[in-house]
Each structure stands twice: as C-alpha cells, then as structure tokens.
Amino acid sequence: MAELDIPGFLLWYFGFLFSITLHEAAHAWAALRGGDPTAYLGGQVTMNPLPHIRREPLGTVLVPLVTFFSRGWMMGWASAPYDSLWAGRYPRRAAAMAAAGPAANLIIAAAVFLLLKLLLQAGIVAVPWPPSFTRLVVPATPGGPPWVDGACQLASILLNLNLIFVCFNLLPVPPMDGYGIVSGLLRERFGGIFRLVEANPMVALLGLFAAWTIFPWIFFPILRRVIRLLYVGVPI
C-alpha cells in the first residue's frame, strides 16, 4: 500500500479534478452549441468542479482517493448528460460533442508540453534521471523553494494524465468518446448496426474491458514518443 502522502495526493487530485472537469465542461459546451441544453441546465458548462462532483461523487471523489492510497496513482470518471433524441436527430453534432472532451485534454497536454519545453531550453528546469510519471522535470537549482518542486510534479502529472485521458477516451469502443465520434459520423450509413450495439447493455461492459486491455499497447508508445520530443536538444 502507498504511503500516506498527503502533498502527493493533493497534487494528483488537483491535476485529476482540473483535467476531468475541463473534459466534461467541453462535452457540455459542445452539446449546448449543437442545440442540446441538457448539460447546461444541469450546471455543467462550467470549470467549477462542484456540479461535476455532485453528479458523479463515486468517480470524482471515492475512486480517486482509494486508487491513490492503494496504488499510488489515481483513476476515476465523470459524465455530462445529453438528450439521446437530440443525438439521434443530429448525429454529427453528437460526434462533435463526443470529440470535445478529448480535445480539451489534448489542449491541456499540448500547453503543458510547450511550457515544459520552454523551461527546459531556458535552463529553469532540468531532466531527472530516471524520469517518472510525476518527475518529467525537476528544478534546475536544487534546494530551492518547495513550491517549485511541487510545480514540476504538477506539470508532469498534468501532461501524463491528459495524455491518458486522450488515448483512453478516443478508443472506438462503447462507451468511450471514440465510439461516440465514430457512431455519430457513420450513423447515417450504418445506423442499424449502431442501434443494435447500443440496445445491449452488456456491450458497454465488454467495451470497457476491451479498452482497458488495448490501452497499454496504444498509450505507452505514444508516451515514449512525447517524452523523447520533450527532451530533444536538452542535455541529459
């Protein structure tokens, strides 16, 4: 069992809650723009995490807490409601709604990547050896204020966690966002197949199992590539 690392938990939880709140707020905003106010009326077009926590307390509070203190890393989930009749009537708008969540996480990951790249090239932060999930960079000058080291950890968590959200959610199996994108784009041509898949509640469970199985084969090569790009031109 992981040590009772309260500072580490706070860094992880801030990164997790920020990332998942932006993900769901992006879904809700895209649905509103597409004509479905369901999530907006539920108060979820917001960066305030409280409406998202109230909707999914298990996935946003309990599971992150348990996984961190039992495994040393954090997982969880949230959700934004939408009108299934609207999604059926406007499948391409529904596909845009599904894509908005991973797109928000990709923006966070890209912004953090660029920030860390600039800080590395400026010599403000340095490459640790070996790097880890929470230690992609460290302060270039040891013995500085503790908040600098905490900021390096938080940036590392944000980059890696949002890469996970992008890769995992874009898998094209139900109930992932990737399936929502594919079904929205192809529903006009293959609507009968998608309706048949969605009518079976076991499909979502099988999809989650498949996503969890496939995910490492997709994520870790991407992560290694991103880290190599981050360190290009930086003395190690």
Residue 236 is predicted with a pLDDT of 60
Q: Give the mean pLDDT of 147-169.
A: 95
3 exposed, middle or buried (CB, 10 Å; 0-12, 13-18, 19+)?
A: exposed
Q: Name, in order, each residue with C-beta under 8 angstroms of 180's C-beta and a sequence gap of 6 or more.
A: 94, 95, 97, 98, 99
Span 10-25, pLDDT tens digits: 999 999 999 999 999 9
Local structure of residue 36 (DSSP, 8 states): -
Residue 82 and residue 193: Cα distance in Å, rounded? 21
pTM to 2 decimal places: 0.92
Residue 25 and residue 51: Cα distance in Å, rounded? 10
Domains in the chain: boundaries: 6-231
Contact between 167 and 219 under an 8 Å Cβ cutoff? The reply is yes
SS3 call for 12: helix
